[in-house]
Amino acid sequence: MGTTWRVLYAARHAPPGEVQAAIETRLAELVAVLSHWEPDSALCRFNRTAGAWVTLPRDLARVVDAGLHLARVSGGAFDPAVGALVDLWGFGPRGPMPVPDEAAIEAARAVSGWQRLDWDGDGQCLRQPGGLQLDLSGIAKGYAADELADRLGRMGIAHCLIEVGGELVGRGIRPDGEPWWVDLETPPGPPLLPLRIALLQMGVATSGDYVRGAHSIDPRTGRAPDNGVVSVSVVAKTAMAADALATAIAIAWPDLSALEPLKPAARIVTRAGEVLTLPLQAMIDD
């Protein structure tokens, strides 16, 4: 997926070599299904399909289902079918591209959009309308972190902190009895008060342009959002939910009315300052 991973765990009988092998095996399975960097992944094969129903592997089906749900709830601020626009702007595996003109943007928008997808959740079948490009980079890393925690759980390892590409999930506690403490990322700029989160059966993810440069696309316009957002950090029950919500909020800000039913616990850093949503403020006050 073009990123790194890190795992901390506490267990009496879990040889590091066996744990690492299990992690690497599970990650290889996920890359083979979800990666848009690997031409032979299930996702890339779907993208090359010329208008047909495709039965998705379990992992891809679960991420697509979650992504389409958030696309509906967010009014398209999060969209798993934005790959053509991502590639057009040079933010995908193809690498840098010239700034596109109006005609190119509209052509990419014409073949993009979650509304063009037909999803049969019971049969785990997704219809490729032709030309549409899935891009799950705004949700797949969080899903991978959750899956690694689940894999360790099946090995009897209940206490771990998992990080995949900056998205984290914490299970259990540390050997000293403390929770897994995680400091929210602080982007460059005016100093912010540090914010430390206890990841007790929760995930946290951050979306921002301050590490890799501007690479966000508003699926609704086909262009970079002009809302002053520098970064968004979200705490949620899973890293996948946190990952996708951070992406959606970074695009939708300042109008989060569509996302209010989800009660996102988020810190939004903009060029004008910092905003904590009420659910995150309540967590801090508790």
Known binding-site positions? 138, 243, 247
Residue 149, CA distances (Å) to 209, 249, 264 in order: 27, 25, 22
Which parts are annotated binding residues for Mg(2+)?
Answer: 138, 243, 247
Burial (CB count <10 Å: 0-12, 13-18, 19+), residue 123: exposed
Q: Structure tokens of 212?
A: 């890799």
CA distance 23 to 19: 6
Residue 274 has φ and ψ, to the nearest 5°, of -125, 140
Instruction: Classify residue 258 by its DSSP letter.
Output: G
CA distance 264 to 19: 33
